[in-house]
């Protein structure tokens, strides 16, 4: 669906692009990460900075809403997979801010000692 959104955007069919993005977001909670990438692509590759930023920020907010309210509502318990990122912080907001701020490493880095530094 994300490829259909990109093709629709390049063809100037913005309504179809929005439909494809909405269908992508309706699939899974982690599809928002792909839509964040789409927003970044719009900003960088197509020069649509404002639209790309709006799509990326809206996707991050939708991810936070899904993890905090929607998934616990249907599961009857908090989202179980955030514990994997506990070394970044105790909440989604803290995990996101830590992962953006700590890219430089150093002795105060919260990442585990066993992790590879290839991705950081």
Mean pLDDT of 72-95: 75
Nearest C-alpha neighbor of 25 from the set 39, 12, 14:
39
Confidence (pLDDT) at 96: 67
Whether 114 shows a pLDDT value over 50: the answer reads no
pTM, whole model, 2 decimals? 0.69
CB 89 within 8 A of CB 98: yes
Whether 70 shows a pLDDT value over 70: the answer reads yes
Domain coordinates of the chain in residue numbers?
Answer: 2-76
d(CA 42, CA 50) in angstroms, rounded, equals 9
């Amino acid at each position: 669906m994300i490829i259909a959104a990109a093709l629709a955007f390049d063809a100037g069919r913005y309504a179809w692009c929005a439909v494809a993005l909405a269908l992508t977001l309706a699939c899974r909670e982690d599809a928002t990460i792909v839509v964040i990438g789409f927003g970044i692509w719009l900003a960088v590759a197509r020069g649509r900075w404002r639209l790309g930023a709006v799509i990326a920020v809206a996707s991050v907010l939708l991810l936070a809403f899904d993890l905090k309210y929607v998934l616990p509502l249907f599961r009857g318990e908090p989202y179980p997979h955030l514990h994997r990122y506990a070394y970044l912080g105790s909440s989604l907001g803290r995990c996101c801010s830590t992962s953006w701020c700590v890219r430089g490493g150093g002795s105060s880095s919260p990442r585990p000692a066993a992790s590879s530094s290839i991705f950081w």
